[in-house]
Structure 1
């Protein structure tokens, strides 16, 4: 178990060295955590406060949805997997120049989608697809080399997220908002599969390591059922797109959306059930843990809301407002679920891999509470009222402050070597895994 889940390193007392490009490009989490968090801060500020700067052809809601999911959330997931897989397998998927190339592809995509224009759009799309292809190949290589059979599906999932991205970008050019949001949901569910797979493994492990005497069952059987139904929901969603099955409210129930909804409902229930088995009362005084529990709870609730939305079993003439808005399940899963989990994982895994004490200082704790505030305010803004715009602006401000605090605190650490190890140097590929092996 420790071989699969140990994604932390021992703290050290030595004074930090100066910034080092070799250290910065030593593991995927270092540049991608900075890139993802920075872009999440910038893109929300642009979306809320200066939307007039967004260009064609991907404007307003389409740009915001894409950049939050693929530009931020999935980017952080890729950074985590490129790091954790090094521990799971003993081989570093990407470091040095190849990792720099991956980051450059990511930057080209962000700039191209922001500046607009059809040429910039296609350059950005090509760069982003190359990003996913390169990441999935790197993950597959080390999974096979390290014989990490349990994780063979992860490279395929990353590749599928890239395919969902392509489908979304094609829908942008079609200008069909309904199709656009259906393909966004496909990417959202694909990311939910990845998030469930990661969180179900690491949250109990982190909790048992931090809370003395805490024992949590691994719930392997429920995890397998959870994965089966979440993948079934993803497949049903893909078939909805292939067959053109209508999913808009009032179109009536259809077989594929019902399968998708039922699968998501079961997945969400299992998630909430697992949370109870993880003994949440034991982590209430551990902010580094309860933030992860809270994100996982919202992810389960969001999946139940998505099941309600996709089932089409309600009459929109009777139920209206927030109950039938697609923004409800999108923000429950994407903001309350993914982003609360992300702020916790950004902190916990970075401290572990950087050889720092596993404890939150005041700025880190403030960042956690600000992210929770951003979620509460944004969800409150979903209810139409005279205060909605003000709530939206406050949510954006809390979001910017949360990620700003994270970057202020962690960038100086992420660009420096671990204080207990010298800066990495260029080594042959076979020897490059040594620092990772020492960290386990």
Structure 2
């Protein structure tokens, strides 16, 4: 049976053998094009056609539910195989899921009717949740059931955005997008809390990883999830000192974890410092939002971009660089230029969060160029790996 399964797995074109392959490649290509396109449209350099709901609605939705969810799908549906021992989605089912994702992306950009987008978005989100849930349910892996809860809530947030687009309600769109963003932050708190100490241990040759404080991990997951609910309800869009305390606690909790994980040796290993910096951006985001709720900062947008650009997207770039190496059977040694991609990316995040508040146009273009170059470097170096069989000859 194992021989038959192995032969069957190896007969599948490499791109469809595991979910990380099509979704990491498609997500990175989409990212490197979407941000410069948005900045060009926002600064009036793009022709007059409009995507569904307009450019702002497109940018809000697609950077989260298009780009980030592609990477989340690729990561979870690949990790699920490792977590559960169950076969990951592959072949025709994976191609169909990727096709639905692509249909939704093209539909949004080309101005498709909102009804068609709702169907495509729900098919994709439910598809990811069902495939992941099935792997966990077969082995009754309760430890990872919170992942399914987050995916279900992400689907609800997506529907809230779609409803806002259909109704022409900008407030509903913003509520749904920010709720979804903090749900991704909850996933980052959950998954990052597990893998970053382990990766740090492996990367620095420690004898054991820093043991988690379970109470802190649970508190951060609950607190971050609560912010998503408050954004979905519209409560967190208004300055409130109690919410300032909540965001301050989230910042302090994540900073405490980073201090516990820290080792000066990480600065010699780009695959490590890129992960730690991404989580530090989450601290910056939560602290900035706390200061906005306390009335110290005039606007919340820079802090929200510290979360969406610096933290979420920074963790995405760092994780896909590592996961691709491991799951294609390669040693954990970065290809040429990828350490530079991490540097470029974080310079772009600084430009978006800080410089664009002083020099809006120059700051945005600098951020967009750094972002695009970082993801272009990933696509250039990693596309051949994603499109080719594992170097060790194993399936996957």
* TM-score greater than 0.5 by the shorter chain: yes
Change (3 A) 1:53 1:286: farther
Contact 1:230–1:263, Cα closer than 8 Å, also in 2: no
Structure 1 residues 137-159: Cα deviation after superposition (integer angstroms, max 9, x where no partner): 11111101123211011122112
Measure, in 2, the Cα distance between the counterparts of 1:131 and 1:259. 36
Does the residue aligned with 1:355 lie in a helix, a strand or coil?
Answer: coil
CA displacement 1:104-125 (0-9 Å, x = unmatched): 11001001100014x2x32122
Provide Cα deviations, 1:77-113, integer angstroms capped at 9, x if missing partner: 1211111111000013411111111101100100110
Residue in structure 2 matched with residue 222 of structure 1 by the alignment: 216
User: What residue number does 1:393 align with?
Assistant: 365
The residue that corresponds to 1:29 in the other structure is 20
Which residue of 2 is the match for residue 42 of structure 1?
33
The Cα of 1:192 is off from its aligned counterpart by: 0.7
Structure 1: gaps (5+ residues) = 1-18, 425-434, 436-440
Asked if structure 2 preserves the Cα contact closer than 8 Å seen for 1:82 and 1:92, the reply is no
Deviations 1:261-284 (A, max 9, x none): 543332221111000000242311
CA contact (8 A) 1:381 1:389 kept: no
- For 1:416-427, list aligned pairs within 5 A: 416-421=388-393, 424=395
Gaps of 5+ in 2: 1-9
2:288 and 2:300 in contact (8 A); partners too: no
Higher helix share: 2
Q: TM-score, structure 2 length as denominator?
A: 0.90
| Offset, 1:188 | 1.0
What is the rounded CA distance, in whole Å, between the counterparts of 1:299 and 1:54 in structure 2?
A: 35
Q: Are positions 1:141 and 2:134 aligned together?
A: yes
Structure 1 residue 390: deviation in Å? 1.8
Aligned length, in residue pairs: 382
Task: Find the residue that maps to 1:382 and give its secondary structure.
Answer: helix
How far did residue 393 of structure 1 move? 1.3
1:362 aligns with 2:336: yes
Show the counterpart of 1:269.
252
1:412 matches 2:384: yes
Within 2, Cα distance between the matches of 1:369 and 1:20?
39
For the 8 Å contact 1:20–1:415, the answer to whether it is kept is no
Cα deviation, residue 169, structure 1: 1.6
From the superposition, tell whether residues 161 and 57 of structure 1 become closer, same or farther in structure 2 (CA, over 3 Å): same
User: Which structure would you say has the larger RCO, counting Cα contacts within 8 Å and 6 or more residues apart?
Assistant: 1
**Superimposed CA distance per residue, residues 343-401 of structure 1 (whole angstroms, 9 cap, x where no aligned partner):** 1101011101111110123221121111112112222333133xx31222122111111
| TM-score, structure 1 normalization | 0.82
Instruction: Point out 4+ residue stretches in structure 1 off by more than 4 angstroms.
Output: 258-261
Equivalent residues of 2:179, 2:227 under 8 A apart: no
The alignment status of 1:77 with 2:68, answered yes or no, reads no
Report the counterpart of residue 303 of structure 1 in structure 2: 286
**C-alpha contact (below 8 Å) 1:27/1:92 kept by paired residues:** no
Give yes or no for contact 2:53–2:168 (8 Å, CA) kept in 1: no
Per the alignment, residue 174 of structure 1 pairs with: 167
- Per-residue CA deviation, residues 284-343 of structure 1 (Å, 9 max, x unaligned), is 11111000000011112212323444x4x42xxxx6xxx232311221100011111111
Instruction: Give the match for residue 293 of structure 1.
Output: 276
Match of 1:332 in 2: 306
Q: Deviations over 1:173-226 (max 9, x none)?
A: 333333322222111111111111111111011111111226422222211221
Quick one: distance in 1 between partners of 2:337 and 2:152? 36
- Report the RMSD for the aligned CA atoms in angstroms: 2.1
